[in-house]
Amino acid sequence: MSDKENNRLKPSTVATLEVVRKSEMGAFLDAGTGNTSDDILLHKTQQIRSVEIGEKVDVFLYLDPKGRLTASMRVPQMRVGQIARVNIINTSKDGAFVDVGAERGIFMPYAGMRGKVQVGEKVWAKLYIDKSGRLAVTMEVEDELRRASKPAEGIKVGDKVKGTVYNYTDQGAFIFTEARNIAFMYNGEMISRPRVGEEVEVRVTFLREDGRLNVSMRPVKENAIVVDAEKILNLLKTRGGKMPYSDETSAEVIKDKFNISKSAFKRAMGSLLKNELIEQKDGWTFLKNNE
């Protein structure tokens, strides 16, 4: 293929090309070089309807197994600049490929990821044109989701909402809910750390003046004590009935070991002490009646 053509038509792009001839294999599209050997094959299997000579068709260009530029009428179902939840269909050390409805997956470079993605996951992503002129996607969609969001209405503290994690900060995770509200979940409100793209059901803890929500994965305080106490008991049992953590342990260590706040830890420990299930001595906690 000529240098002129290489500069104009590239794989992972969408082009409008004219059908110049047909064969048993399919239709050939004018590559614009004046050389018929540069014509691009639109195979019958890549046509979503029959095409006629002289007709101009929108096609997605990609390389076939032999490295030849090939066309398909299965073009991306997203417009450039549009966001959508897309499936991860393949990964590599340089990035991942996502399904946007085209004949081939569109590349998402590593720099455009939010965390490490896995095949089969669905993530919020935006379609764009990279510096080489090819289509690509990125998970940097904060501005687009903010513009697409709306203030929370008809929601009260304690309600459960569902949504998808789309970004993390040092303080916690941003979630885009099914009702198109933006919610924030502080690290201390997580029972486990959801992956970017993961769907979660969370409890509303605060309604902000700007219409956004603060949410939590943790149950209400009374139920949380039971959950946290069970977590402490389980650790004690796996450690032979003793652990080097007590009310004197720092909040940082408690957070790292139990993923709960120091105050939540103390409430759970208090419940266990009251029920005479544990005892504390010299900064250690012991399981009573441990057999």
pLDDT band with cut points at 50, 70 and 90 for residue 290: low
Residues of the chain with CATH 1.10.10.10: 222-287
Judge whether residue 222 has pLDDT over 70: no
CATH 2.30.130.10 for domain 222-287: no
Give 75-97 pLDDT, tens digit per residue: 999 999 999 999 999 999 999 99
Model-wide pTM > 0.85: no
Give 170-213 pLDDT, tens digit per residue: 999 999 999 999 999 999 889 889 999 999 999 999 999 999 99
**Bigger pLDDT: 251 or 7?**
251
Tell me the CATH number for domain 149-216.
2.40.50.140
Give 97-153 pLDDT, tens digit per residue: 999 999 999 999 999 998 889 999 999 999 999 998 899 999 999 999 999 999 999
Residues of the chain with CATH 2.40.50.140: 3-72, 83-142, 149-216
Tell me the CATH number for domain 83-142.
2.40.50.140
Q: What dihedral do alpha carbons 132, 134, 137, 140 form, nearest 10°?
A: 30
- Residue 170 CA to chain centroid, in angstroms? 17
Task: Provide, rounded to the nearest whole percent, the portion of the chain with pLDDT above 70.
Answer: 97
